[in-house]
Amino acid sequence: MGRPELPVDHTLFERGRLAEQLRFIRMAARLNYDELADRTGLSPATLKRATSGRTVPAWETVAAFATACGDQPRLLHELWLNARIADRGRLAQLRQPARPQLIESRRELSAALEYFYEAAGAPPLRRLAALAGDPYLLPVSSAHRIVKRQALPVSRQQMVAFLTACGLTGQALVLWGVAFEEITRYPEGPYSRINALFEKVAEGTGLTRVRLLEGHQVVDGRGNPRFVRGARWTAADMRVAADLAAQSAAAAG
């Protein structure tokens, strides 16, 4: 008779939950670690570490473990993802991105891409390239620069491939693809994507509105120079621009 297992380490709650569930399905399948190793092709030591709660196993390990025990891996994916996110701790430091229609700059777009990568559990870059469907479309070197915020995707196609690998689907891919094209179309500076969208609305509706895009000096009624800041977009402006972006995305889809 082997030695009893050590208690699960619950130092990190999410890791502990995953480990407890792995132990539960192993016991339900009435398999010891040697038998499980024969079925998975993994070492008993690797399998024991996966159920210790001290580390987060690779998804491939969890999937093989579940399959060998007669369970469906997808039922464990949420537990694994939560454990992975909590173990890395990076996602909690990032701000959830705005709707793609309201992303204005390359910086905001780059931050959104890192957020989606971390929300997907920050998969190894080779796996990310494989999930994109074509490793030539998302080379590991390109994926590295994207997740480190060193560069944006080189094309809308690569943008969509990256987001697909991060688990986005359907209309979200269309909207973020449109955002990428519109943001990269304009240079960085005071003339932003929102400015461009608002101008399109004005052209289509006949609405005329003068806005100062940059701060500048004016002379007041007493002849004194003073600095005037550029006007900020109001919530109503942003809604109009977002509606236009949604219509553009629908037409593009």
Instruction: Give residue-wise pLDDT tens across range 60-78.
Output: 999 999 999 999 999 999 9
Verify that 101 and 118 share a domain, yes or no: yes
How far apart CA 50 and CA 36 sit, in angstroms, is 12
Q: How many CA atoms lie within 13 A of 109 on its CB side?
A: 29
Instruction: Please report, to the nearest 10 degrees, the dihedral formed by the alpha carbons of residues 174, 177, 178, 182 taken in order.
Output: 180
The verdict on 158 and 199 lying in the same domain is no
In what helix (H) or strand (E) does residue 99 lie, and over which residues does it extend?
Answer: none
Same-domain status, 136 and 174: yes
Q: What is the CATH number of the domain that holds 75?
A: 1.10.260.40
Which range of residues forms the domain containing residue 24? 13-88
Q: Please name which of 69, 87, 67, 68 lies closest in space to residue 18, comparing C-alpha atoms.
A: 87
Residue 202 and residue 230 in one domain: yes
Say what the pLDDT of residue 253 is. Answer: 58
User: Does residue 2 form part of some domain?
Assistant: no
- Identify the pLDDT of residue 135: 73
Q: How many helices (H) and strands (E) does the chain have?
A: 12, 2
pLDDT for residue 211: 40
Looking at the structure, tell me whether residues 50 and 108 fall in a common domain.
no
pLDDT at 134: 79
Domain count, the chain: 3
Last residue of a domain, one of 28, 61, 88: 88
Whether residue 108 lies inside any domain: the answer is yes
Whether 158 and 166 have beta carbons less than 8 Å apart is answered as: no
Band of pLDDT at residue 209, cut at 50, 70 and 90: very low
- Which tokens hold the place of 89? 């701790």
Residue entry with tokens 């929300």 = 119
pLDDT given for residue 204 in this prediction: 56
Give pLDDT tens digits for 167-208: 999 999 999 999 999 888 866 654 556 666 666 655 555 444
The Cα–Cα gap between 185 and 215 comes to: 24
Within this chain, do residues 76 and 127 fall inside the same structural domain, yes or no?
Answer: no
Q: Is the pTM of this model over 0.95?
A: no
pLDDT at 34 over 90: yes
Residues 141-167: what's their mean pLDDT? 95
pLDDT value at 106 more than 80: yes
Distance CA 165, CA 102 (A): 23
For residues 122 and 139, state if they share a domain.
Answer: yes
What pLDDT score does 109 carry? 95
Give the pLDDT band of residue 4 (cuts 50, 70, 90).
confident
Q: What is the pLDDT of residue 153?
A: 96
Distance CA 196, CA 182 (A): 9
Q: For residues 57 and 73, is the Cβ–Cβ distance under 8 A?
A: no
